Amino acid sequence: MAPELRWLGRVEYEPTWRAMQTFTSERDAATPDQIWFLEHPPVFTLGMNAAPEHLLAPGDIPVVQIDRGGQVTYHGPGQLVVYPLLDVRRAGLGVRQLVMALESAIIDLLASWNIEAVAKREAPGVYVNGRKVASIGLRIRRGSSYHGLAFNVAMDLQPFQRINPCGYRGLEVTDLRSLGVNASVQEVADALSPRLLASLRLTQDVS
């Protein structure tokens, strides 16, 4: 069953999170998957395992405690956020397989720009020269996934200095602009989506 790809633009974090929860709670075996592509205004999010000491100095940026795995991360303008709302049971995907598929799609896209990137099993996400360019945090409930990945495109990276990203003290982050790629968030979404579908072994109807 082909997933529906949705570009939501820039949307507030909390209503989007609630919408993901509602979609996941109300879906059944016949519900088509959806993949949401979007940006958020500035916000720090704390996963279920987050230690408060990793939030160093939030200042005027809102902090939201949420129900994904992982520690603390930052979302803001210029970052592509992707929420794969998938029936992972139907797709035959385990959590680790899903994480690897998301990482693989980003690594493949970066390779198309001649950027060598790697994933780290012990610290999910995608890294270029040791700097994190994409973060992953998921929740599986009722056999379905929500939350997802955050891919730094062209953003103010300063807020990452106010946290220990993903719980790692001193972890450096980067974005596509810093790596020499000039593209909008929506352009990156358009380039990533077919790679994401291929990596997840899903197909999209073209009409």
Q: What are the tens digits of pLDDT across the range 76-129?
A: 999 999 999 999 999 999 999 999 999 999 999 999 999 999 999 888 899 999
**Domain edges within the chain:** 4-200
Tell whether the model's pLDDT for residue 203 goes beyond 60: no
**How many whole angstroms separate alpha carbon 143 and alpha carbon 109?**
28
pLDDT category of residue 206 using cuts at 50, 70 and 90: very low
Higher pLDDT, 1 or 120: 120
Are the beta carbons of 148 and 136 closer than 8 angstroms?
A: yes
Q: Is 166 known to be catalytic?
A: yes
CATH architecture observed for domain 4-200 = 2-Layer Sandwich (3.30)
Catalytic member of 166, 181, 188, 192: 166
25 labelled binding-site residue: no
What stretches of 11-143 adopt beta strand conformation (E)? 34-39, 43-46, 63-65, 72-75, 79-85, 118-119, 125-128, 131-141
Tell whether the model's pLDDT for residue 69 goes beyond 80: no
Q: What is the pTM of this model?
A: 0.93
Q: What are the tens digits of pLDDT across the range 144-155?
A: 999 999 999 999
